């Protein structure tokens, strides 16, 4: 069998990848194809999550062995076949490519093609550029409000008297009604 996956991003509207891969391939094989088609760094932490219909995380498949309690199943990409955890079309997965901020690709198993075999995974459609792999927090903090810099608290327009009367218990219902 061959699985047809569609990868989308909630960060980049025109980003889309369609990947075909054999059902007996491992999650690591799938991971390598995603890395190849996005150009992301290989030496990072990645993981897949099998999800419910509402995208709630259910089962994690990690890149490396993780210390977990013996009560939980521990799935590692290199040892887990796709067909071990994926059995039906429209199954949803998340691919976490930035662990620090939990940025993900949304993946759907769009089709299961029976009676065929595929030796190596292949990306058959690639549109749009992938989101940047890592967020530059310096750029993000300036984009949130570029006017907030080291001079914000020394603004000449700020007047300490504006805070007078804001002590605890200084407002009652009548004074609030008078103000609004």
pLDDT higher than threshold 80 for residue 179: no
Residue 172 has pLDDT above 90, yes or no: no
d(C-alpha 80, C-alpha 62), whole Å: 10
Give alpha helix (H) positions in the chain. Answer: 27-38, 82-85, 137-144, 173-179
Nearest C-alpha neighbor of 17 from the set 152, 153, 128: 128
Cα diameter, the chain: 78
CA 151 vs CA 27, 139, 145: distances in Å: 50, 18, 13
Say whether pLDDT at 138 is over 70: no
Q: What is the pLDDT of residue 139?
A: 52
Choose the weakest-confidence range: 8-17, 56-65, 108-117, 149-158: 149-158
Determine the Cα–Cα distance for residues 176 and 174; give it in Å rounded to an integer.
Answer: 5
Secondary structure E strands in the chain: 2-8, 16-22, 47-51, 57-62, 75-76, 92-98, 103-113, 122-127
pLDDT exceeds 90 at position 66: no
What is the value of pTM for the model shown? 0.73
């Amino acid at each position: 069998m061959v699985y047809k996956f569609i990868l989308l991003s909630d960060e980049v509207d025109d980003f889309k990848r369609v990947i075909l891969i054999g059902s007996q391939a491992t999650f690591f094989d799938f991971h390598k194809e995603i890395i190849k088609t996005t150009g992301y760094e290989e030496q990072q932490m990645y993981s897949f999550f099998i999800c419910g219909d509402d995208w709630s995380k259910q089962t994690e498949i990690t890149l490396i062995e993780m210390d977990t309690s013996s009560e939980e199943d521990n799935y590692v990409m290199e040892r887990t076949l796709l067909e071990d955890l994926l059995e039906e079309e429209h199954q949803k997965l998340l691919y976490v490519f930035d662990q620090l901020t939990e940025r993900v690709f949304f993946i759907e198993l769009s089709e299961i093609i029976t009676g065929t075999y595929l030796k190596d995974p292949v990306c058959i459609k690639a549109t749009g550029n992938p989101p940047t792999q890592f967020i530059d927090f310096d750029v993000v903090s300036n984009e949130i409000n570029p006017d907030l810099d080291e001079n914000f608290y020394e603004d000449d327009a700020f007047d300490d008297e504006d805070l007078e009367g804001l002590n605890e218990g200084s407002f009652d219902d009548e004074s609030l009604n008078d103000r609004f």
